[in-house]
Amino acid sequence: ADPTGESAAAARTIAAVREVAEGCRRCPLWRNATQTVFGEGPQSASVVFVGEQPGDQEDLAGKPFVGPAGKVFDAILEEADVDRQKTYVTNAVKHFKFEPRGKRRIHSKPNAGEIQACRWWLDKELALVKPDLVVALGATAAQSLLGKAVPVTKMRGQVVEREDGLKVFLTIHPSFILRIREPADKDAERARFRQDMRAVKKLM
Ligand code: URA
């Protein structure tokens, strides 16, 4: 049972929904996380970016994309002339899932059930913001938004229209760039992501 269902269903603003989401118990991830990391940005935004889930730093700060992946994301948005402040940034899953390893907390991928449970919040955010375009950053976001697994590396740069008319732009997750070691490959991937963000800018 979800003790917050009714108040969340009645909430009419992002601020109100965010408050209700603080007490979310829709899946077990709340138990180990510090807090719910809800989306951030103006409710009037025309573009919504959807990541996977908060990382270690996001969990502590309570804000999406403020850690290493967020730094890459910010830098490339700036290069593509996209003002993050005018967009709404959120995640498919709103609690940090991790495995403790010594003093460190190692990111662990959310499963289909957790993505499904949290989709309730993402749907609510999209219903309130009503963006012209949603950008799926990586496979988890794409799966949550489209309800099925899609090959994002193959389909990157493409816009898929959902049955409800929502346009979903597919691309990789910025943390994918962070994981590439070979400098030339890293630069190439960074350039591809910048190109995707320039395409998003044109659609804004
Ligand atoms: N990765 C994500 O998918 N989301 C964040 O908020 C941070 C890192």
Domains and CATH numbers, the chain: 5-203 (3.40.470.10)
- C-beta 51 within 6 A of ligand 1: yes
- Rounded to 5°, angle at Cα 133 from 188 and 179: 30
Picking from 66, 41, 42, the residue whose alpha carbon sits closest to that of residue 54 is 66
Q: For the purposes of burial, counting CB atoms within 10 Å of the CB of 186, is it exposed (0-12), middle (13-18) or buried (19 or more)?
A: middle
pLDDT band at 7 (very low <50, low <70, confident <90, very high): confident
Ligand 1 atom at minimum distance from 52 CA: 3
**Residue 187 Cα to ligand 1 middle (Å):** 21
Average pLDDT over residues 38-55: 98
Ligand 1 atom at minimum distance from 141 CA: 3
Phi, psi of 69 (to 5 degrees): -65, -35
pTM here? Answer: 0.96
| Residue 1 confidence (pLDDT) above 60 | no
Report CA-CA distances (Å) from 141 to 16, 41, 57, 84, 197: 23, 18, 19, 18, 16
Cα(197)–Cα(37) distance, integer angstroms: 24
Map tokens 């989306």 to a residue: 39
Across the chain, mean pLDDT equals 96
How many C-beta atoms surround the C-beta of residue 63 within 10 A?
17
Collapsing DSSP to helix, strand or coil, 80 comes out as coil
- C-beta 110 within 6 A of ligand 1: no
Picking from 144, 162, 169, the residue whose alpha carbon sits closest to that of residue 87 is 169
**Residue 45 Cα to ligand 1 middle (Å):** 19
CA 160 to chain centre: 17
| Stronger pLDDT, 5 or 41, i.e. the higher one | 41
**Residue 108 Cα to ligand 1 middle (Å):** 12
User: Using an 8 Å Cβ cutoff, are 190 and 177 in contact?
Assistant: yes
Which residues have C-beta within 8 Å of that of residue 162, sequence separation ≥ 6? 145, 146, 168
**Residue 50 Cα to ligand 1 middle (Å):** 9
- C-beta 39 within 6 A of ligand 1: no
| Residue 2 confidence (pLDDT) above 70 | no
User: Using an 8 Å Cβ cutoff, are 33 and 114 in contact?
Assistant: no
> ipTM above 0.85?
yes
Question: Which of 35, 50, 52 is the pocket-test mutation for ligand 1 (most atoms within 8 Å of CB)?
Answer: 52
Residue 124: enclosing H or E segment and its boundaries? helix 112-129
Phi, psi of 181 (to 5 degrees): -90, -45
Collapsing DSSP to helix, strand or coil, 201 comes out as helix
Q: Which two tokens stand for residue 53?
A: 């889930």
pLDDT for position 165: 98
**Residue 183 Cα to ligand 1 middle (Å):** 23
| Residue 92 confidence (pLDDT) above 90 | yes
- C-beta 58 within 6 A of ligand 1: yes
| Residue 3 confidence (pLDDT) above 70 | no
